[in-house]
Structure 1
Amino acid sequence: MTGQAKTAAKTAAKSAATSAATVVFRRGAVVALASVFLVAGVVLSAGLGQLSIAPTEVVGSVLRSLGLDNGWAPTGELIEKTLWQIRFPRIVMALLVGGLLAIAGAIMQAIFGNPLAEPGVVGVSSGAAVGAAASIALGLTFFGTWTTAVFAFAGGLAATFIVYSTAKANGRTESVTLILTGIAVNAFTGAALAILMFAGGSSAREQIVFWQLGSINGSRWTEVGVVAALGTVSTVIALGFARQFDLLALGDRTASHLGVRVERLRVVSIVVVALMTGVAVAFVGIIAFVGLVVPHLVRMALGPANRWVMIVSLLGGATLLVYADLLARTLVPSADLPIGILTSLIGGPFFYWLIRRGRRSGGGWA
């Protein structure tokens, strides 16, 4: 090897090492920043409200629950009940639902190869809401207390398969057809929800309106436990598919040659997305655009590596929904705004910007 070639090889190796170090640093910085915002949001959300609680008391109460005696812990019983019976269940539910919706969006963007794919945009959330609303309006109790969650899962799964089967043509997923099918599914589910509201009693109508607007108000620890259990299982499965998602980005044919069973991967991923979305919608209603905004911003910051996209999307989605819920509780005095309204106010303009940006750049990823 000539001297020039050796110098070029060393320069290339050094450049690659520098690039890898930059990527590692960027990932660490993003995770650290998201974690700081997340912790700050949790403390703020626990402390702010009609009963104001100091941040030190919030931290002290958590430490005491872990068996660590400290001078910060609140002495009043009212504060403890407010934290552990009202605010903490709501906060944990916001963390779980935000994280699950963000990961679900990341998975859909990976398997469809489309940055516009998201559970709400393509009708998965509304399909799950119809399933939940049907169980309420018709008074179904086949699975006991799990009936609403099971029907929400079934509705989300059905909507996802409809979108997938319609958008697929000649072995590939058509992006335009994907969005158009999502619009059609959302229109149909909107009509179905209206029919269920008309057919149901006054109590059923109130609950169906809840599904349409979305709210984390009134979350209970038993519901949090269900979301946490199913969310953990589906997240672990999704992370296990991260490498196959990376290969899928090379194209179906190339991924297949590299050992990926493409159709099976998509079908299992669809079930995982339906599970995540269904369990979230079953307890808090439709919360749109979290799965669109968060994964896309994460891809812009960290690149296309799906394992990191899903991990950071989990943090980002949880952070976004905690702050959105905080605004829902405190923006209007003595009122609790539907959280779905706030996320739509954020996601709607972002969706428009994303479409405009895609047209200027000729489409594709960020």
Structure 2
Amino acid sequence: MGKKSFLLLALAALIGLMLLAIGFGSVDISFATIITAMKNLIRNGVDGIDLTDPIHFIIFEVRLPRIILAVLTGGLLSMAGASYQAIFQNPMADPFVMGVSSGAAFGATMAIVFLPATSFLGHTLVSLSAFICAILISLIVYTVSRTKRGVDNYSVLLTGIVISAILSSAISLIMMVHRDEAMAIITWTMGSFNAKSWIHVGTIFIPTLIAFIVTIYHGKDLNLLVMGEEEAISMGLDVKKLKRNLLLLSALLTSLAVSVSGIIGFVGLIVPHFIRLIFGGDHKFLMPASMIVGGIFMLLADTLARSLISGFELPVGIITSLIGGPLFMVLLIKHKRSLQ
């Protein structure tokens, strides 16, 4: 299958799965009802939506924003993962390499314990605190790792690991002291799209679009970077500037994704790796493919999370780990055998 054909097929599959996913949950909705509701929306705009109808309310106010948010988050984490893997020239790098997850978890923990009921512009301070702390930690990691010759890859990894360990210990200490809030902290760190609204979709939509355009634009530059920094410099690429811009952009957008979803692992690690093993490492293709396939992966995981057990919703991070972990092991084994 050609690359263009794959992108078109994957995009069609994503749209179809989004429509199907609306029907799953505590209340089952038939596909025919979903199609009729969508037709009314297309023909009459928002006037075609009757929110006093319980089914319409579930479709347009409960499930559709959640589904769109899951797709955007999955695509965002996958693109960030692909960028980090190119920057660090390491297929094992993921979107949380700069301490984003530990920073977000610490910020969320502080807000859950000390400001649990406060909100700002439709967002709880848990989300805002997670975003701010994730950005701050990313900037600290970047600053510590920066040298006169640019950002040192090993310093980023080591600094991220050290800071993550420190913050994890701090979170554990807070949970021991404030045991009543421990379950809320644990639940947040497992990731979820429960109770998300159009406000959250609006928060993440424009940044995701910007990330998509920027990473597509730099696809050729990332291909040169993967060949080696010396080779890229000889081809006229400003490696120092490129790495700085993409590191900060990826950290910013990953922080934004984590702030609305909690910590969701494996998506940014496995999706780009999966596509790279099948189609190669051309980032002009890898980036849009990661966006679409990442959205599919996250959508499937979230649909399973809210429909696998009747009357109970699992954290989506558990589903991504249960699916992503074994699948990643299979990919690694196949890759190892191909090298023998």
Same fold (TM > 0.5): yes
Q: In structure 2, what is the equivalent of residue 86 of structure 1?
A: 62
Q: In structure 2, what is the equivalent of residue 3 of structure 1?
A: none
Partner of 2:231, secondary structure, is: helix
What is the distance in 2 between the residues matched to 1:151 and 1:52?
35
Does the 8 Å contact 1:122/1:186 carry over to 2?
A: no
* Aligned partner letter, 1:213: M
Q: In structure 2, what is the equivalent of residue 298 of structure 1?
A: 275
Matched, 1:109 2:88: no
Q: In structure 2, what is the equivalent of residue 9 of structure 1?
A: none
1:287 positional shift? 0.4
1:235 positional shift? 2.6
Does the 8 Å contact 2:204/2:257 carry over to 1?
A: yes
Matched, 1:44 2:20: yes
Matched, 1:262 2:235: no
Q: In structure 1, what is the equivalent of residue 167 of structure 2?
A: 189
Does the 8 Å contact 2:151/2:240 carry over to 1?
A: no
The equivalences for 1:153-192 within 5 A come to 153-160=131-138, 183-192=161-170
What is the distance in 2 between the residues matched to 1:74 and 1:221?
17
Matched, 1:77 2:50: no
* Residue from 321, 324, 329 that aligns with 2:306: 329
Matched, 1:244 2:221: yes
1:80 positional shift? 0.4
What is the distance in 1 between the residues matched to 2:36 and 2:120?
40
* Aligned partner letter, 1:309: L
The equivalences for 1:9-20 within 5 A come to none
**TM-score, normalised relative to structure 1:** 0.79
Say if 1:218 and 1:250 are closer, same or farther in 2 by CA, change over 3 A.
same
- Equivalent pairs: percent with the same residue? 33
* Residue from 175, 192, 196 that aligns with 1:219: 196
* Aligned partner letter, 1:97: T
Does the 8 Å contact 1:212/1:285 carry over to 2?
A: yes
Q: In structure 2, what is the equivalent of residue 348 of structure 1?
A: 325
Does the 8 Å contact 1:122/1:185 carry over to 2?
A: no
Give the unaligned 5+ runs of structure 1.
Answer: 1-24
Q: In structure 2, what is the equivalent of residue 97 of structure 1?
A: 73
What is the distance in 1 between the residues matched to 2:148 and 2:275?
29
* Aligned partner letter, 2:217: G
Does the 8 Å contact 2:102/2:134 carry over to 1?
A: yes
What is the distance in 1 between the residues matched to 2:336 and 2:132?
35
Partner of 1:52, secondary structure, is: coil
Matched, 1:278 2:255: yes
* Residue from 100, 109, 133 that aligns with 1:133: 109
What is the distance in 2 between the residues matched to 1:184 and 1:356?
30
Say if 1:33 and 1:192 are closer, same or farther in 2 by CA, change over 3 A.
farther
1:131 positional shift? 2.7
Does the 8 Å contact 2:151/2:244 carry over to 1?
A: no
* Aligned partner letter, 1:236: I
Give the unaligned 5+ runs of structure 2.
Answer: none
What is the distance in 2 between the residues matched to 1:222 and 1:179?
34
Say if 1:168 and 1:197 are closer, same or farther in 2 by CA, change over 3 A.
farther
1:110 positional shift? 0.9
* Aligned partner letter, 1:316: V
1:281 positional shift? 1.0
Partner of 1:67, secondary structure, is: helix
> Deviation per CA, 1:306-364, whole angstroms, max 9, x where unpaired?
1210101000010011111111111111100000001011222244445556666779x
What is the distance in 2 between the residues matched to 1:158 and 1:350?
33
> Deviation per CA, 1:224-277, whole angstroms, max 9, x where unpaired?
110112222233222222221111112112212222221221121111111221
Q: In structure 2, what is the equivalent of residue 53 of structure 1?
A: 29
Matched, 1:65 2:4: no
